[in-house]
Amino acid sequence: MQIVTVAKGPFEGQKPGTSGLRKKTRVFMEPGYLECFVQSVFNAIGGAKGKSFVVGGDGRYYNREAIQSILKMAAANGASHVIVGEGGLLSTPAVSNLIRQRGTDGGLVLSASHNPGGVDADFGIKYNIANGGPAPEHITAGIFEQTQSITSYATLEAGDVDLGTPGTSVLGDMTVEIVDPVADYLALMEKLFDFDRIAALFSSGFTMRFDAMHAVTGPYARAVLEERLGAPAGTVVNAVPSEDFGGGHPDPNPVWARDLMQEMMSDTAPDFGAASDGDGDRNMIVGRGIYVTPSDSLAVLAANAHLAPGYSAGLAGVARSMPTSGASDRVAEKLGIGSFETPTGWKFFGNLLDAGKVTLCGEESAGTGSDHVREKDGLWAVLLWLNILAVTERPVAQMLQDHWSEFGRNYYSRHDYEAVPAEAAQAVMDRVAGNLTGLPGTTSAGQTVSAADSFSYHDPVDGSVSENQGLRISFKDGGRAVLRLSGTGTEGATLRVYLEQYAGPDDDHGLDPEAALADVRAALLDITDLENLIGRTEPDVRT
Ligand code: G1P
Ligand code: ZN
């Protein structure tokens, strides 16, 4: 064992409240940087001695090097066993599943999710706990604290482990087990869904395109959709994970998954389209000629999940992040089950899932999941949709129309202003936060504010309180605007504006979303003075 002293500090850790440590790849490549974070994790969890972990990543640049460092450090810190995906690959939901199936003490996920990869792009690392979910705030706070005083880390002087061959080897006193990244995940999906029925759907001529965006879900989608369910070869595109995701943003939304969107809106569109992100936890759902917002997707899945074997007993409840539209609340109300509004970030769902209060949960940012793991799960969402479509035999567009006729439609759009100078973004937030009680009333844009607050979450399971989780402004007539600063950007600040407008079951549901949201947007711009304060008139991304 070798103790390496680090020359500079303090290092940056995972700030409490953020979903992992994300930085430019070159920062992670600085001597000792990744190592200090990993040592801080081990220190914060009371040491690694005798513990077992799962380690894997989304295959981005530096993935394999990082895994080699982590293995040597785990061995030097006394860990007993580490499970690694073959080639260093594991999707985030597959890590979550392996932690749970194999009962390890935790896991490390190497990914910056949907951020671009490459030596000049982004890298990230995240610690997950024994329930398979992201570390909760008391642990991330401990990790951060460790990073502020860390001066050395332990590693083993040893050769690299062969990540390319399944099987078990030893590293010091620790065993390293290389596993097929897909096998256990596929087994779990087979338990939840009616694979025979989905296979019959494909053999009846149902067509699909799955865009893996050159990221980690390629091997998973090929194994599940093409090899196991019989979808024709070529159903999955961009299926080979590459270190820079083919030079793109592996972010499944209409902007970054443009090719898929174009195909789905064309005359030759397949019946169903889907995409997933860098590490496989996000999903995008598209029908022939129609995009399904993640908020609507959660609501449709909640209303129909009982059609899949894994959910045939019904749902315990549904949770959504605060900025996600209220569409799923209406389903929960009708089903007579609990509905929960949590802060942004998957970790807040963990307690609700562990306590059996909810079965499904989702975020507007293309994350949907259930109690089968403790992460959001892109391919799982796609399979649940497929199972539902196989049973109902209705096109996606019809599913949505029927849903809106029953529950009403929550028009929805998120506007992101990226790489904004931090002070300017903060000025927008401060201006609104400083005047919350003054807001109710009519804006000069003609909308009436009915309520405004800064969202605080009281966790119903452990009683913890998370304050300042975004600013909510509700308008009379079912409009809502939410403002928050992103916690995952790596350049300046990203200001997110979430717009929503409810139209009841009997309304016309055929408006263009941006048109349906024009009044809410005008009122929000009026209230925030955003365009002046940040010097922009258009968002960088609308999703
Ligand atoms: C974003 C999403 C959020 C998601 C997180 C991690 O965070 O908005 O829903 O949980 O990525 O995937 P943000 O950048 O908004 O803080
Ligand atoms: Zn992700």
Query: Domain total for the chain?
Result: 3
pLDDT tens across 332-390, in order? 999 999 999 999 988 899 999 999 999 999 999 999 999 999 999 999 999 999 999 99
| Cβ of 43 below 6 Å from ligand 1 | no
By the 8 A CB rule, do 37 and 13 touch? yes
Which phi and psi angles does 272 have, rounded to 5°?
A: -150, 140
Asked if 198 and 328 sit in the same domain, the reply is yes
What integer pLDDT is reported at residue 508 of this predicted model? 87
Structure tokens at 196: 């025979």
Q: What's the mean pLDDT in 162-179?
A: 97
Distance 488 CA to ligand 1 centre (A): 6
Is 113 considered catalytic here? yes
Active-site residue identified among 19, 69, 111, 113:
113
What integer pLDDT is reported at residue 425 of this predicted model? 95
Asked if 173 and 207 sit in the same domain, the reply is no
356: left (phi over 0), alpha (psi -120 to 50) or beta: left
pLDDT at 417 over 90: yes
Structure tokens at 105: 């003490």
Helix (H, G, I), strand (E, B) or coil at 68: helix
Asked if 139 and 269 sit in the same domain, the reply is no
Asked if 58 and 194 sit in the same domain, the reply is no
Asked if 307 and 359 sit in the same domain, the reply is yes
Who contacts 93 (Cβ-Cβ below 8 Å, separation ≥6)? 185, 280, 281, 369, 373, 375, 376, 377, 378, 379, 380
Distance 485 CA to ligand 1 centre (A): 10
| Cβ of 295 below 6 Å from ligand 1 | no
pLDDT at 197 over 90: yes
pLDDT at 403 over 80: yes
Q: What's the mean pLDDT in 200-207?
A: 98
pLDDT tens across 99-117, in order? 999 999 999 999 999 999 9
pLDDT tens across 445-467, in order? 888 999 999 999 999 999 999 99
Distance 471 CA to ligand 2 centre (A): 24
| Cβ of 349 below 6 Å from ligand 1 | no
Specify the residue with its C-alpha closest to ligand 1, atom 15: 486
Helix (H, G, I), strand (E, B) or coil at 41: helix
Q: What's the mean pLDDT in 141-165?
A: 94
Atom index in ligand 1 nearest the CA of residue 363 equals 9
Asked if 428 and 470 sit in the same domain, the reply is yes
Asked if 211 and 151 sit in the same domain, the reply is no
Ligand nearest to the CA of 366: 1
Asked if 376 and 442 sit in the same domain, the reply is no
Nearest to 277 by CA among 115, 417, 54: 115
Which of 133, 150, 180 represents a domain boundary (last residue)?
180
Which of 374, 407, 440 represents a domain boundary (last residue)?
407
Per-residue pLDDT band for 9 (boundaries 50, 70, 90) equals low
> Mean pLDDT for the chain?
95
Distance 256 CA to ligand 2 centre (A): 14
By the 8 A CB rule, do 85 and 96 touch? no
Asked if 246 and 311 sit in the same domain, the reply is yes
pLDDT at 13 over 80: no
pLDDT at 538 over 70: yes
Quote the domain boundaries for residue 415.
409-542
Cα(44)–Cα(402) distance, integer angstroms: 50
What does 174-199 look like in DSSP terms, one character per residue? Answer: EEEEEE-TTHHHHHHHHHHS-HHHHH
The domain that holds 459 is classified in CATH as: 3.30.310.50
pLDDT tens across 474-497, in order? 999 999 999 999 987 767 899 999
Asked if 43 and 111 sit in the same domain, the reply is yes
Best residue among 18, 19, 128 to mutate for probing ligand 1's pocket (most ligand atoms within 8 Å of CB) is: 19
| Cβ of 19 below 6 Å from ligand 1 | yes
pLDDT tens across 242-263, in order? 999 999 999 999 989 999 999 9
Asked if 225 and 111 sit in the same domain, the reply is no
Asked if 94 and 206 sit in the same domain, the reply is no
Which of 180, 197, 215 represents a domain boundary (last residue)?
180
The domain that holds 345 is classified in CATH as: 3.40.120.10
The alpha-helical segments, DSSP class H, found in 273-366 are: 294-304, 327-335, 347-354
What integer pLDDT is reported at residue 473 of this predicted model? 97
Check: pTM over 0.75? Answer yes or no: yes
- Tokens 């990993």 — which residue? 38
What does 112-175 look like in DSSP terms, one character per residue? Answer: -TTS--STTSEEEEEEEETTSSBPPHHHHHHHHHHHHH--EEEE---PPP-TTS-EEEEETTEE
What integer pLDDT is reported at residue 491 of this predicted model? 76
What is the total residue count of the chain?
543
| Cβ of 345 below 6 Å from ligand 1 | yes
| Cβ of 486 below 6 Å from ligand 1 | yes
The burial of 279, by beta-carbon neighbours within 10 Å (0-12 exposed, 13-18 middle, 19 or more buried), is given as buried
